[in-house]
Structure 1
Amino acid sequence: MDLAIELKNRLHTKPILLMTHLVLGYPSLRINREVIAQMAANGVDCIELQIPFSEPIADGPVILKANQQSLKNGISVEDCFRFGQEMATAFPTVRFLFMTYYNIVFKYGEEAFLRRTKEIGFCGTIIPDLPPEEGASSLAVSEALGLAPIQFFTPTSTNERMREVAGLARGFIYCVARRGVTGEQTTLDDSLTAYLARCRQATDLPLAVGFGISRREDVAMLRGKADMAVIGTATIQLVDSQGADAVGPFIAGLLD
Protein backbone atom coordinates (compact mmCIF):
# COMPACT_ATOMS: atom_id res chain seq x y z
CA MET A 1 0.00 0.00 0.00
CA ASP A 2 1.12 3.56 -0.71
CA LEU A 3 2.80 4.90 2.44
CA ALA A 4 0.83 8.15 2.52
CA ILE A 5 -2.47 6.28 2.27
CA GLU A 6 -1.43 3.83 4.97
CA LEU A 7 -0.46 6.62 7.37
CA LYS A 8 -3.70 8.47 6.72
CA ASN A 9 -5.61 5.26 7.44
CA ARG A 10 -3.80 4.88 10.76
CA LEU A 11 -4.85 8.40 11.69
CA HIS A 12 -8.48 7.23 11.68
CA THR A 13 -7.76 5.45 14.97
CA LYS A 14 -4.88 7.51 16.41
CA PRO A 15 -4.71 11.24 17.19
CA ILE A 16 -1.07 11.33 16.09
CA LEU A 17 1.49 8.82 14.83
CA LEU A 18 5.03 8.19 16.07
CA MET A 19 8.27 7.75 14.17
CA THR A 20 11.46 6.85 16.01
CA HIS A 21 15.10 6.89 15.01
CA LEU A 22 18.01 4.54 15.72
CA VAL A 23 21.64 4.56 14.65
CA LEU A 24 22.36 1.04 13.47
CA GLY A 25 25.14 -0.64 15.44
CA TYR A 26 24.95 1.76 18.37
CA PRO A 27 25.51 0.62 20.97
CA SER A 28 25.15 -2.74 19.16
CA LEU A 29 22.81 -4.51 16.80
CA ARG A 30 21.74 -6.69 19.72
CA ILE A 31 20.56 -3.60 21.62
CA ASN A 32 19.01 -2.19 18.44
CA ARG A 33 16.99 -5.39 18.16
CA GLU A 34 15.73 -5.11 21.75
CA VAL A 35 14.83 -1.45 21.34
CA ILE A 36 12.95 -2.00 18.07
CA ALA A 37 10.93 -4.80 19.68
CA GLN A 38 9.85 -2.44 22.46
CA MET A 39 9.02 0.31 20.00
CA ALA A 40 6.90 -2.03 17.91
CA ALA A 41 5.11 -3.41 20.98
CA ASN A 42 4.19 0.11 22.08
CA GLY A 43 2.66 1.29 18.82
CA VAL A 44 5.42 3.07 16.91
CA ASP A 45 4.28 3.48 13.30
CA CYS A 46 7.54 4.19 11.48
CA ILE A 47 11.20 3.68 12.37
CA GLU A 48 14.06 5.36 10.54
CA LEU A 49 17.19 3.24 10.79
CA GLN A 50 20.30 5.33 10.24
CA ILE A 51 23.17 3.81 8.31
CA PRO A 52 26.17 5.40 10.06
CA PHE A 53 28.28 7.99 8.27
CA SER A 54 31.43 9.74 9.45
CA GLU A 55 30.11 13.28 8.87
CA PRO A 56 26.36 13.36 9.64
CA ILE A 57 25.92 17.08 9.05
CA ALA A 58 22.24 17.32 10.09
CA ASP A 59 22.81 15.56 13.40
CA GLY A 60 23.69 16.94 16.81
CA PRO A 61 26.35 15.65 19.21
CA VAL A 62 24.40 12.66 20.56
CA ILE A 63 23.68 11.15 17.15
CA LEU A 64 27.12 12.20 15.86
CA LYS A 65 28.74 10.25 18.69
CA ALA A 66 26.51 7.25 17.96
CA ASN A 67 27.52 7.32 14.29
CA GLN A 68 31.21 7.49 15.13
CA GLN A 69 31.03 4.72 17.72
CA SER A 70 29.09 2.44 15.41
CA LEU A 71 31.67 2.92 12.67
CA LYS A 72 34.43 2.27 15.19
CA ASN A 73 32.65 -0.96 16.10
CA GLY A 74 32.93 -2.02 12.45
CA ILE A 75 29.33 -1.76 11.23
CA SER A 76 29.02 -2.05 7.45
CA VAL A 77 26.33 -1.12 4.95
CA GLU A 78 25.81 -4.82 4.30
CA ASP A 79 25.26 -5.37 8.04
CA CYS A 80 22.61 -2.66 7.92
CA PHE A 81 20.79 -4.24 4.99
CA ARG A 82 20.76 -7.68 6.59
CA PHE A 83 19.58 -6.30 9.93
CA GLY A 84 16.96 -4.15 8.22
CA GLN A 85 15.52 -7.17 6.43
CA GLU A 86 15.37 -9.07 9.71
CA MET A 87 13.47 -6.21 11.37
CA ALA A 88 11.04 -5.67 8.49
CA THR A 89 10.19 -9.37 8.55
CA ALA A 90 9.89 -9.56 12.35
CA PHE A 91 7.72 -6.44 12.78
CA PRO A 92 5.35 -6.15 9.80
CA THR A 93 3.15 -3.51 11.46
CA VAL A 94 6.07 -1.05 11.50
CA ARG A 95 7.04 0.84 8.37
CA PHE A 96 10.83 1.02 8.12
CA LEU A 97 12.91 3.61 6.28
CA PHE A 98 16.65 4.01 5.86
CA MET A 99 18.09 7.35 6.89
CA THR A 100 21.62 8.11 5.74
CA TYR A 101 23.75 10.58 3.81
CA TYR A 102 24.22 10.60 0.08
CA ASN A 103 27.88 9.55 0.16
CA ILE A 104 26.77 6.13 1.43
CA VAL A 105 24.19 5.79 -1.36
CA PHE A 106 26.62 7.02 -4.03
CA LYS A 107 29.39 4.63 -3.01
CA TYR A 108 27.02 1.66 -2.93
CA GLY A 109 25.49 2.64 -6.27
CA GLU A 110 22.33 4.71 -6.25
CA GLU A 111 20.05 2.33 -8.13
CA ALA A 112 21.49 -0.74 -6.38
CA PHE A 113 21.00 0.88 -2.97
CA LEU A 114 17.39 1.78 -3.67
CA ARG A 115 16.56 -1.61 -5.18
CA ARG A 116 18.05 -3.38 -2.18
CA THR A 117 16.09 -1.10 0.15
CA LYS A 118 12.87 -2.10 -1.60
CA GLU A 119 13.79 -5.80 -1.70
CA ILE A 120 14.31 -6.05 2.06
CA GLY A 121 10.83 -4.66 2.73
CA PHE A 122 11.52 -1.00 3.49
CA CYS A 123 9.11 1.70 2.34
CA GLY A 124 11.40 4.69 1.79
CA THR A 125 14.57 6.67 2.35
CA ILE A 126 15.51 9.84 4.20
CA ILE A 127 18.64 11.48 2.74
CA PRO A 128 18.92 14.97 4.27
CA ASP A 129 21.89 16.15 2.19
CA LEU A 130 20.30 15.34 -1.19
CA PRO A 131 18.19 18.32 -2.31
CA PRO A 132 15.59 17.48 -4.95
CA GLU A 133 17.39 19.61 -7.56
CA GLU A 134 20.36 17.21 -7.31
CA GLY A 135 18.35 14.06 -6.83
CA ALA A 136 16.47 13.61 -10.09
CA SER A 137 17.82 10.11 -10.73
CA SER A 138 17.15 9.01 -7.15
CA LEU A 139 13.62 10.35 -7.34
CA ALA A 140 13.00 8.58 -10.65
CA VAL A 141 14.27 5.22 -9.41
CA SER A 142 12.32 5.58 -6.16
CA GLU A 143 9.15 6.32 -8.12
CA ALA A 144 9.65 3.27 -10.31
CA LEU A 145 10.23 1.04 -7.29
CA GLY A 146 7.38 2.42 -5.21
CA LEU A 147 9.74 3.78 -2.56
CA ALA A 148 8.99 7.04 -0.75
CA PRO A 149 11.87 9.55 -1.06
CA ILE A 150 11.10 11.69 1.98
CA GLN A 151 11.49 15.43 1.43
CA PHE A 152 11.94 18.25 3.91
CA PHE A 153 10.25 21.50 4.82
CA THR A 154 12.14 23.92 7.07
CA PRO A 155 11.10 27.11 8.87
CA THR A 156 13.02 29.13 6.26
CA SER A 157 11.23 27.49 3.30
CA THR A 158 9.09 29.91 1.37
CA ASN A 159 5.54 28.93 0.46
CA GLU A 160 6.65 28.56 -3.16
CA ARG A 161 9.56 26.31 -2.16
CA MET A 162 7.25 24.14 -0.07
CA ARG A 163 4.94 23.62 -3.02
CA GLU A 164 7.88 22.71 -5.27
CA VAL A 165 9.25 20.19 -2.78
CA ALA A 166 5.81 18.73 -2.09
CA GLY A 167 5.35 18.02 -5.78
CA LEU A 168 8.35 15.68 -5.67
CA ALA A 169 7.60 14.07 -2.31
CA ARG A 170 5.97 10.75 -1.55
CA GLY A 171 4.93 9.12 1.72
CA PHE A 172 5.11 12.10 4.03
CA ILE A 173 6.91 15.41 4.49
CA TYR A 174 9.54 15.72 7.22
CA CYS A 175 8.97 19.15 8.78
CA VAL A 176 12.12 20.31 10.52
CA ALA A 177 10.86 22.07 13.64
CA ARG A 178 13.66 24.62 13.87
CA ARG A 179 17.00 25.70 12.46
CA GLY A 180 20.14 23.82 13.47
CA VAL A 181 20.88 20.16 14.10
CA THR A 182 19.09 17.36 15.90
CA GLY A 183 19.00 17.02 19.66
CA GLU A 184 18.43 20.55 20.91
CA GLN A 185 15.11 21.26 22.61
CA THR A 186 12.51 22.83 20.34
CA THR A 187 10.32 25.63 21.63
CA LEU A 188 6.75 24.77 20.74
CA ASP A 189 5.19 28.19 20.40
CA ASP A 190 3.03 30.32 18.09
CA SER A 191 5.79 30.59 15.49
CA LEU A 192 5.94 26.80 15.19
CA THR A 193 2.14 26.68 14.93
CA ALA A 194 2.21 29.24 12.11
CA TYR A 195 4.98 27.34 10.33
CA LEU A 196 3.07 24.06 10.52
CA ALA A 197 -0.02 25.81 9.16
CA ARG A 198 2.05 26.86 6.13
CA CYS A 199 3.27 23.28 5.77
CA ARG A 200 -0.31 22.03 5.82
CA GLN A 201 -1.36 24.47 3.11
CA ALA A 202 1.47 23.31 0.84
CA THR A 203 0.63 19.60 0.68
CA ASP A 204 -1.95 16.95 1.42
CA LEU A 205 0.76 14.46 2.38
CA PRO A 206 1.06 13.60 6.10
CA LEU A 207 3.33 15.92 8.08
CA ALA A 208 6.01 14.47 10.36
CA VAL A 209 7.68 16.90 12.78
CA GLY A 210 11.15 16.29 14.16
CA PHE A 211 14.20 17.97 15.71
CA GLY A 212 13.87 18.42 19.48
CA ILE A 213 10.64 16.48 20.05
CA SER A 214 11.29 14.50 23.23
CA ARG A 215 8.40 14.67 25.73
CA ARG A 216 4.74 13.77 26.06
CA GLU A 217 3.97 17.50 26.17
CA ASP A 218 5.72 18.02 22.83
CA VAL A 219 3.72 15.25 21.17
CA ALA A 220 0.46 16.53 22.66
CA MET A 221 1.14 20.03 21.33
CA LEU A 222 1.52 18.63 17.81
CA ARG A 223 -1.90 16.98 17.80
CA GLY A 224 -4.13 18.66 15.26
CA LYS A 225 -1.15 20.48 13.74
CA ALA A 226 0.86 17.54 12.40
CA ASP A 227 0.32 13.85 11.71
CA MET A 228 3.45 12.23 13.10
CA ALA A 229 5.95 13.14 15.83
CA VAL A 230 9.58 12.12 15.31
CA ILE A 231 11.57 11.01 18.37
CA GLY A 232 15.31 10.60 17.84
CA THR A 233 17.94 11.86 20.23
CA ALA A 234 15.76 11.31 23.32
CA THR A 235 15.61 7.55 22.72
CA ILE A 236 19.37 7.25 22.22
CA GLN A 237 20.00 9.19 25.43
CA LEU A 238 17.53 6.98 27.28
CA VAL A 239 19.25 3.78 26.16
CA ASP A 240 22.62 5.26 27.15
CA SER A 241 21.43 6.23 30.63
CA GLN A 242 18.87 3.56 31.55
CA GLY A 243 19.21 0.71 29.09
CA ALA A 244 16.97 -0.78 26.43
CA ASP A 245 14.27 -1.83 28.89
CA ALA A 246 13.38 1.83 29.51
CA VAL A 247 12.30 2.40 25.91
CA GLY A 248 8.91 0.67 26.05
CA PRO A 249 7.52 2.70 28.97
CA PHE A 250 8.95 5.90 27.46
CA ILE A 251 7.22 5.31 24.12
CA ALA A 252 3.95 4.34 25.79
CA GLY A 253 4.08 7.49 27.90
CA LEU A 254 4.37 9.76 24.87
CA LEU A 255 0.76 9.09 23.92
CA ASP A 256 -0.85 9.01 27.39
Structure 2
Amino acid sequence: MTMTLQEDIQKRLEKKKILLMTHLVLGYPSLEVNRQVIAQMAENGVDCIELQIPFSEPMADGPVILKANQDALAGGIRVADCLAFAREMIAAHPGVHFLFMTYYNIVFRYSTSAFLEEAADMGIRGCIIPDLPPEEGGEYLEGCREHGLAPIMFFTPTSTDDRMREVAARGEGFIYCVARRGVTGAHTEMDAGLVRYLERCRAATDLPLAVGFGIGRREDVAMLEGRADMAVIGTATIRLVDEKGPAAVGPFIRDLLG
Protein backbone atom coordinates (compact mmCIF):
# COMPACT_ATOMS: atom_id res chain seq x y z
CA MET A 1 0.00 0.00 0.00
CA THR A 2 1.27 3.49 -0.88
CA MET A 3 2.26 5.57 2.12
CA THR A 4 0.21 8.66 2.83
CA LEU A 5 1.91 12.02 2.35
CA GLN A 6 2.21 12.41 6.11
CA GLU A 7 3.77 8.97 6.51
CA ASP A 8 6.32 9.61 3.78
CA ILE A 9 7.26 13.00 5.21
CA GLN A 10 7.85 11.41 8.59
CA LYS A 11 9.92 8.64 7.01
CA ARG A 12 12.09 11.18 5.17
CA LEU A 13 12.65 13.03 8.44
CA GLU A 14 14.38 9.96 9.82
CA LYS A 15 17.28 10.80 7.48
CA LYS A 16 17.05 14.60 7.19
CA LYS A 17 17.00 17.41 9.73
CA ILE A 18 14.43 19.26 7.68
CA LEU A 19 12.68 18.78 4.35
CA LEU A 20 12.33 21.31 1.55
CA MET A 21 9.28 22.31 -0.45
CA THR A 22 9.65 24.64 -3.41
CA HIS A 23 7.11 26.54 -5.47
CA LEU A 24 6.76 27.67 -9.05
CA VAL A 25 4.10 29.30 -11.17
CA LEU A 26 3.21 27.14 -14.15
CA GLY A 27 3.80 28.92 -17.42
CA TYR A 28 6.14 31.53 -15.94
CA PRO A 29 8.25 32.37 -17.75
CA SER A 30 7.38 29.28 -19.82
CA LEU A 31 6.64 25.61 -19.34
CA GLU A 32 10.05 24.80 -20.80
CA VAL A 33 11.78 26.86 -18.12
CA ASN A 34 9.48 25.26 -15.52
CA ARG A 35 10.65 21.87 -16.79
CA GLN A 36 14.32 22.82 -16.36
CA VAL A 37 13.75 24.31 -12.90
CA ILE A 38 11.87 21.25 -11.65
CA ALA A 39 14.70 19.00 -12.86
CA GLN A 40 17.19 21.14 -10.91
CA MET A 41 15.01 20.96 -7.82
CA ALA A 42 14.45 17.21 -8.04
CA GLU A 43 18.12 16.44 -8.64
CA ASN A 44 19.25 18.48 -5.64
CA GLY A 45 17.12 17.14 -2.84
CA VAL A 46 13.75 18.88 -2.89
CA ASP A 47 11.06 16.73 -1.28
CA CYS A 48 7.86 18.49 -2.34
CA ILE A 49 7.04 20.93 -5.13
CA GLU A 50 4.01 23.22 -5.27
CA LEU A 51 2.78 23.66 -8.81
CA GLN A 52 0.78 26.89 -8.85
CA ILE A 53 -1.99 27.05 -11.41
CA PRO A 54 -2.11 30.75 -12.31
CA PHE A 55 -5.06 32.87 -11.22
CA SER A 56 -5.82 36.51 -11.97
CA GLU A 57 -6.21 37.54 -8.31
CA PRO A 58 -3.80 35.48 -6.17
CA MET A 59 -4.67 37.15 -2.88
CA ALA A 60 -2.05 35.45 -0.68
CA ASP A 61 0.83 36.21 -3.03
CA GLY A 62 3.21 39.16 -3.02
CA PRO A 63 4.34 41.22 -6.03
CA VAL A 64 6.84 38.72 -7.47
CA ILE A 65 4.41 35.81 -7.58
CA LEU A 66 1.52 38.10 -8.53
CA LYS A 67 3.47 39.28 -11.58
CA ALA A 68 4.38 35.67 -12.44
CA ASN A 69 0.69 34.75 -12.37
CA GLN A 70 -0.26 37.69 -14.57
CA ASP A 71 2.56 37.06 -17.06
CA ALA A 72 1.71 33.35 -17.30
CA LEU A 73 -1.94 34.16 -18.01
CA ALA A 74 -0.95 36.82 -20.54
CA GLY A 75 1.21 34.17 -22.22
CA GLY A 76 -1.85 32.00 -22.76
CA ILE A 77 -1.45 29.29 -20.09
CA ARG A 78 -4.66 27.40 -19.38
CA VAL A 79 -5.75 24.94 -16.71
CA ALA A 80 -5.62 22.07 -19.19
CA ASP A 81 -1.99 22.96 -20.01
CA CYS A 82 -1.14 22.93 -16.30
CA LEU A 83 -2.74 19.54 -15.74
CA ALA A 84 -0.96 17.98 -18.71
CA PHE A 85 2.37 19.45 -17.59
CA ALA A 86 1.89 18.22 -14.03
CA ARG A 87 1.21 14.71 -15.28
CA GLU A 88 4.46 14.82 -17.26
CA MET A 89 6.50 16.06 -14.27
CA ILE A 90 5.08 13.48 -11.87
CA ALA A 91 6.05 10.69 -14.26
CA ALA A 92 9.52 12.18 -14.77
CA HIS A 93 10.35 12.74 -11.08
CA PRO A 94 8.90 9.91 -8.96
CA GLY A 95 11.01 10.83 -5.92
CA VAL A 96 9.23 14.18 -5.47
CA HIS A 97 5.78 14.80 -4.00
CA PHE A 98 3.90 17.23 -6.25
CA LEU A 99 1.03 19.34 -4.96
CA PHE A 100 -1.29 21.73 -6.73
CA MET A 101 -1.50 25.23 -5.33
CA THR A 102 -4.20 27.51 -6.68
CA TYR A 103 -7.29 29.48 -5.73
CA TYR A 104 -10.71 27.99 -5.38
CA ASN A 105 -12.26 29.76 -8.35
CA ILE A 106 -10.00 27.67 -10.61
CA VAL A 107 -11.09 24.41 -9.00
CA PHE A 108 -14.77 25.38 -8.84
CA ARG A 109 -14.96 26.48 -12.48
CA TYR A 110 -13.21 23.32 -13.63
CA SER A 111 -15.57 21.24 -11.43
CA THR A 112 -14.30 20.38 -7.97
CA SER A 113 -14.99 16.67 -8.33
CA ALA A 114 -13.44 16.44 -11.81
CA PHE A 115 -10.38 18.46 -10.77
CA LEU A 116 -9.68 16.30 -7.73
CA GLU A 117 -10.29 13.06 -9.62
CA GLU A 118 -7.86 14.08 -12.35
CA ALA A 119 -5.28 15.30 -9.83
CA ALA A 120 -5.38 12.00 -7.98
CA ASP A 121 -5.22 9.99 -11.20
CA MET A 122 -1.98 11.68 -12.27
CA GLY A 123 -0.34 11.23 -8.86
CA ILE A 124 -0.71 14.63 -7.20
CA ARG A 125 -0.38 14.12 -3.43
CA GLY A 126 -2.31 17.10 -2.13
CA CYS A 127 -3.77 20.54 -2.77
CA ILE A 128 -3.07 23.96 -1.27
CA ILE A 129 -5.99 26.38 -1.63
CA PRO A 130 -5.36 29.47 0.52
CA ASP A 131 -8.66 31.26 -0.10
CA LEU A 132 -11.00 28.40 0.85
CA PRO A 133 -11.99 28.46 4.56
CA PRO A 134 -12.47 24.88 5.77
CA GLU A 135 -16.02 25.70 6.90
CA GLU A 136 -16.93 26.46 3.27
CA GLY A 137 -14.95 23.60 1.73
CA GLY A 138 -17.22 20.64 2.36
CA GLU A 139 -17.30 19.39 -1.23
CA TYR A 140 -13.55 19.92 -1.61
CA LEU A 141 -12.64 18.18 1.64
CA GLU A 142 -14.94 15.25 0.91
CA GLY A 143 -13.47 14.94 -2.58
CA CYS A 144 -9.93 14.95 -1.22
CA ARG A 145 -10.78 12.14 1.18
CA GLU A 146 -12.48 10.16 -1.57
CA HIS A 147 -9.47 10.40 -3.89
CA GLY A 148 -6.68 10.07 -1.33
CA LEU A 149 -5.46 13.66 -1.67
CA ALA A 150 -4.15 15.65 1.29
CA PRO A 151 -6.04 18.93 1.82
CA ILE A 152 -3.33 21.21 3.21
CA MET A 153 -4.55 23.55 5.93
CA PHE A 154 -3.01 26.82 7.12
CA PHE A 155 -1.95 28.21 10.48
CA THR A 156 -1.20 31.93 10.73
CA PRO A 157 0.34 34.05 13.50
CA THR A 158 -3.14 35.44 14.24
CA SER A 159 -4.71 31.99 14.66
CA THR A 160 -5.82 31.22 18.20
CA ASP A 161 -4.84 27.89 19.74
CA ASP A 162 -8.45 26.72 19.45
CA ARG A 163 -8.61 27.74 15.80
CA MET A 164 -5.38 25.89 15.06
CA ARG A 165 -6.76 22.67 16.52
CA GLU A 166 -10.05 23.12 14.65
CA VAL A 167 -8.31 23.70 11.31
CA ALA A 168 -5.77 20.89 11.80
CA ALA A 169 -8.57 18.38 12.40
CA ARG A 170 -9.75 18.96 8.81
CA GLY A 171 -6.32 18.69 7.19
CA GLU A 172 -3.97 15.89 6.17
CA GLY A 173 -0.39 15.60 4.95
CA PHE A 174 1.09 18.58 6.76
CA ILE A 175 0.14 22.02 8.04
CA TYR A 176 1.36 25.08 6.14
CA CYS A 177 2.47 27.54 8.83
CA VAL A 178 2.45 31.09 7.45
CA ALA A 179 5.52 32.65 9.07
CA ARG A 180 4.19 36.19 9.30
CA ARG A 181 1.24 38.43 8.52
CA GLY A 182 0.78 39.69 4.98
CA VAL A 183 1.58 38.19 1.60
CA THR A 184 4.49 36.19 0.24
CA GLY A 185 7.81 37.72 -0.72
CA ALA A 186 9.11 39.95 2.05
CA HIS A 187 11.82 38.46 4.25
CA THR A 188 10.73 36.96 7.56
CA GLU A 189 12.72 37.75 10.68
CA MET A 190 13.79 34.59 12.47
CA ASP A 191 13.19 35.89 15.98
CA ALA A 192 11.78 34.85 19.33
CA GLY A 193 8.25 35.69 18.19
CA LEU A 194 8.50 33.18 15.35
CA VAL A 195 9.88 30.56 17.74
CA ARG A 196 6.92 31.03 20.11
CA TYR A 197 4.48 30.86 17.21
CA LEU A 198 6.00 27.59 15.98
CA GLU A 199 5.76 26.18 19.49
CA ARG A 200 2.03 26.96 19.43
CA CYS A 201 1.74 25.31 16.02
CA ARG A 202 3.49 22.18 17.25
CA ALA A 203 1.21 21.94 20.28
CA ALA A 204 -1.92 22.17 18.14
CA THR A 205 -1.35 19.18 15.83
CA ASP A 206 0.50 15.94 15.24
CA LEU A 207 0.78 16.72 11.53
CA PRO A 208 4.20 17.80 10.19
CA LEU A 209 4.78 21.55 10.03
CA ALA A 210 5.86 23.31 6.82
CA VAL A 211 6.90 26.95 7.25
CA GLY A 212 6.70 29.45 4.40
CA PHE A 213 6.47 33.17 3.56
CA GLY A 214 9.80 34.95 3.51
CA ILE A 215 12.10 31.92 3.74
CA GLY A 216 14.98 32.22 1.29
CA ARG A 217 18.41 31.76 2.90
CA ARG A 218 20.43 28.97 4.46
CA GLU A 219 20.24 30.79 7.81
CA ASP A 220 16.44 30.75 7.64
CA VAL A 221 16.31 27.02 6.96
CA ALA A 222 18.86 26.28 9.69
CA MET A 223 16.81 28.24 12.22
CA LEU A 224 13.77 26.09 11.40
CA GLU A 225 15.62 22.82 12.01
CA GLY A 226 14.21 21.19 15.12
CA ARG A 227 11.27 23.61 15.14
CA ALA A 228 9.55 22.64 11.89
CA ASP A 229 9.60 19.70 9.50
CA MET A 230 9.74 21.43 6.13
CA ALA A 231 10.89 24.82 4.86
CA VAL A 232 8.96 26.35 1.94
CA ILE A 233 10.83 28.39 -0.67
CA GLY A 234 8.80 30.38 -3.20
CA THR A 235 9.61 33.94 -4.16
CA ALA A 236 13.37 33.47 -3.74
CA THR A 237 13.49 30.83 -6.46
CA ILE A 238 11.41 32.86 -8.90
CA ARG A 239 13.69 35.86 -8.41
CA LEU A 240 16.74 33.67 -8.90
CA VAL A 241 15.45 32.24 -12.18
CA ASP A 242 14.57 35.75 -13.37
CA GLU A 243 18.06 37.03 -12.59
CA LYS A 244 20.34 34.07 -13.33
CA GLY A 245 18.35 31.42 -15.18
CA PRO A 246 17.33 27.83 -14.37
CA ALA A 247 20.89 26.54 -13.98
CA ALA A 248 21.29 28.62 -10.81
CA VAL A 249 18.57 26.69 -9.01
CA GLY A 250 20.58 23.54 -8.25
CA PRO A 251 23.42 25.30 -6.37
CA PHE A 252 20.86 27.45 -4.54
CA ILE A 253 18.97 24.37 -3.31
CA ARG A 254 22.17 22.63 -2.23
CA ASP A 255 23.19 25.70 -0.25
CA LEU A 256 19.80 25.92 1.47
CA LEU A 257 20.14 22.35 2.68
CA GLY A 258 23.70 22.90 3.88
* TM class by smaller structure: over 0.9
1:184 partner amino acid = A
Match of 1:210 in 2: 212
2:61 partner amino acid = D
Match of 2:84 in 1: 82
Distance, in Å, in 2 between the alignment partners of 1:224 and 1:136 is: 34
Residue correspondence of structure 1 range 33-48 to structure 2 within 5 A:
33-48=35-50
> Which sections of structure 1, spanning at least 5 residues, go unmatched?
none
Which secondary structure state, in structure 1, belongs to the residue aligned with residue 50 of structure 2?
A: strand
1:80 partner amino acid = C
1:65 partner amino acid = K
Which secondary structure state, in structure 1, belongs to the residue aligned with residue 32 of structure 2?
A: helix
What number of residue pairs does the alignment pair up? 256
Q: Normalising to structure 2: TM-score of the pair?
A: 0.99
1:211-241 deviation digits (Å, cap 9, x = unpaired)? 0000000000000000000000000000000
1:82: Cα distance to partner?
Answer: 0.3
Which secondary structure state, in structure 2, belongs to the residue aligned with residue 122 of structure 1?
A: coil
1:75: Cα distance to partner?
Answer: 0.3
Which secondary structure state, in structure 1, belongs to the residue aligned with residue 169 of structure 2?
A: helix
Identity %: 69
Match of 1:5 in 2: 7
1:167 partner amino acid = A
Match of 1:173 in 2: 175
1:136: Cα distance to partner?
Answer: 1.0
1:185-209 deviation digits (Å, cap 9, x = unpaired)? 0011000000000000011100000
1:158: Cα distance to partner?
Answer: 0.3
Which secondary structure state, in structure 1, belongs to the residue aligned with residue 211 of structure 2?
A: strand
Matched, 1:151 2:153: yes
Distance, in Å, in 2 between the alignment partners of 1:146 and 1:120 is: 12
> Which sections of structure 2, spanning at least 5 residues, go unmatched?
none
Distance, in Å, in 2 between the alignment partners of 1:61 and 1:135 is: 27
1:56: Cα distance to partner?
Answer: 0.3
Regions of 4+ moved over 2 Å: none
Which secondary structure state, in structure 2, belongs to the residue aligned with residue 168 of structure 1?
A: coil
Distance, in Å, in 1 between the alignment partners of 2:133 and 2:98 is: 21
Matched, 1:223 2:225: yes
Q: Normalising to structure 1: TM-score of the pair?
A: 1.00
1:105: Cα distance to partner?
Answer: 0.4
Match of 1:72 in 2: 74
1:255: Cα distance to partner?
Answer: 1.1
1:137: Cα distance to partner?
Answer: 1.1
CA RMSD after TM alignment: 0.4
Distance, in Å, in 1 between the alignment partners of 2:103 and 2:86 is: 17
Tell me which of 98, 108, 119 is aligned to 1:117: 119
